[in-house]
Structure 1
Amino acid sequence: MRLAAAGMGVSAVAAGYIVNVDRATRQGQSLALVLANYFSMFTIVSTLLSAGALAAAATWTRMHPERTREPLGVALALAITTGPVLLLGVVYNVLLRGVPSEVAAADSAGIAMLDTYAVEVLHVIIPLYLLVDLLFARRRRGLPWWSLPVLTVYPLTWLLYTMVRGELVVDPSGAAAWWYPYPFLDPHGAGGWGSVLIYIGGIFAAFVAIGAGIIAIGRYRERRAMRHEVVVEAGVLHG
């Protein structure tokens, strides 16, 4: 299931790639810039990282069928990618679902289908799978609380990269001399840097909360699994 989810995530990124190439070509935009922007988006980076983590976890499971707990590195990789993808799923489905694409009307039927596939997989299916994996996958390892700051390294790194890069590239459409992947991160908007900093603070708080939830769930599941193992061993010895 982890390999299937990883493959589906990569296929959705590939579908989005085709959509962006088609739109850039039709609109006469710089293909190199459009694709650089596409692979700089938080959704795309997070999905590719989660696919890598899922593939690594699945590979370890197949190579070590006798082990009852995954190693710390695999557990960290899964947790680091699960938090951002879950937040993406919540934000999209609560705030952005139903908002029409600005260029979707000009798409052919095939491109529109690819676009819909990419959006639904990236924002619905992959987040749901990672939630199910967090709650029910066997051999999940509980993480120590000191790992909470580690879970924020990736989103903070992406944020720093995005805010620096935003002023160094132009909008492919030519509408502005800068480009930010999401309007709430654009300091040139009506709210300026004040609004951007508020959003950044809220997003960071959400990452910390989700990361704490992931750690708490993992620790609870590990304690419950250990109690079950003790009960089973006691029953075997008693028998």
Structure 2
Amino acid sequence: FKFFYTVPRFHNPLGVSYTRNQKKAIAQLAAKYDVYIVEDDYMADLEQDTKQDPIYAYDNTSHVIYLKSFSKIIFPGLRVGVAVLPEVLCESFNRFKRLMDIDSSMLSQAALELYLKSGMFERHRKKMRSCYGKRSMLLHDSIIREANAASEQHYSYVPASQLGVHTYLKLEDNLRAEQMIKRLQKKFIRVEMADSGYLPYFAKKERILKLNVSSVKESDISSGIAQVIREIR
């Protein structure tokens, strides 16, 4: 079997999401070349646009393995996820699953079932979706505002088609990023370059500064971005 792993929305660190046409094209290519798409849709519950279906929705040939996690939206300690598999892979998957951990926690599954059926999960999801949506807009608006106020820029910013809580700035080659990051750390602002996201033998690494506000208070986002942009200048 051949597999292609991908995250369909709010990719980390770039923050990009596939368009509807791109999802359809990926599903068609999977069928054409007999490759299974491993679609890790762990950010699905935070999607603002309810019409943004996963690649799985366009799979007519059973070539998509759809994965979903509850730990991102509820709490990290909840080690329960969902895997929707093509029938041909079910037996192999179950065999390896038993070898890896025998079985998922029955207590966690039972608690999650009650949480889902009671309606509490849906209320919590709406709250988290709203919270992440506000942070996403604050992140985007803060970058645009600082860019408009600057007389010169040493970075570029291209907003994603669907705004998320993480994005990036592309820095100029002559900018000394390591020193800048250390200065920001002294101000309790943590950012990092995307170098770790490249394979070791990748020839040309773009100078990408990762920004993530998933754990940042809404009241701190604008001032934090202002300080980051100030250091880049």
Query: TM-score, normalized by length of structure 1?
Result: 0.24
Q: Which has the higher contact order (CA 8 A, sep 6+)?
A: 1
The structure with the greater share of residues assigned to strand is 2
Which has the larger helix fraction? Answer: 1
TM-score scaled by length of structure 2: 0.24
